[in-house]
Amino acid sequence: MEPDRIKRKEVAFFGRITAGITHEIKNVLAIIQESAGLMEDVLEVIEDSAFAHKDKFIKSLDRIRRQIQRGIDITTCLNWFAHSPDRTPVSLDLNETSQQMVLLASRFARLKNVALETSPSDPPIVITSDPVSLEMALFESIEILLRAIDAGGKITLSPRKVQDRCVLGIGYENAALVKEDFPTQISSSERWASLQQTLTYLGGAAKTFGPTPEILLYLPDSIDN
């Protein structure tokens, strides 16, 4: 079997197992949700009767509820990601892809105290592409920016049309940033070559744009074109 096909099979296998596990995690979250919910129900019934540390009990239940929701959001996102290799090429809404990547990469950004957000396009831009490679390109772009900065600021993923071409911008904003050579620094980074390779596979190109540093991913309407 050709190495490329083996790699595809490996990625699909990895996705299948991960997707299965996310379903199991959802079951665990559902059990915690219902058990905590039952405690809340009981508390409501005995609302008037005070007991020691009741406030701590209520606060803990509230914390559990919030963390369950966080767990659900992460698991749903991971499930979406795990299903990426199922079909390729496929129609992708760049707003949706950007939003999911923000959720998946938020922990990496948080470690550098960077806010990660999207600026959706209106109307949404839909392209036919390879989902795994596109997600990888987005993640590589975020990673390049995070490695190049010290800390703080905001990274925004903004899909848009530039002269009828589909572009996904990954921009960095920080009032404290004074590096004039930032775009050059980005494009000479070790990971830039890897990003270019991914974009070549997708039939597009990656460029940097200043003075507000931004990585621009130029993407074809269809990977087949």
Binding site for other proteins (CB under 8 A): 23, 26-27, 29-31, 33-35, 37-38, 41-42, 45, 68, 72
CB of 25 to other proteins, least distance (A): 9
Contacts of residue 120, Cβ cutoff 8 Å, sequence gap at least 6? 95, 98, 99, 158, 159
The smaller minimum CB distance to other proteins, of residues 83 and 191, is found at 83
CA–CA separation, 141 and 111 (whole Å) = 16
Token representation of residue 134:
């596109």
Instruction: Give the DSSP H/E element, type plus range, for residue 61.
Output: helix 54-82
Q: How many CA atoms lie within 13 A of 146 on its CB side?
A: 19
The smaller minimum CB distance to other proteins, of residues 26 and 207, is found at 26
The smaller minimum CB distance to other proteins, of residues 64 and 177, is found at 64
CB of 41 to other proteins, least distance (A): 5
The smaller minimum CB distance to other proteins, of residues 74 and 115, is found at 74
The smaller minimum CB distance to other proteins, of residues 72 and 148, is found at 72
CB of 23 to other proteins, least distance (A): 5
CB of 153 to other proteins, least distance (A): 35
CB of 186 to other proteins, least distance (A): 39
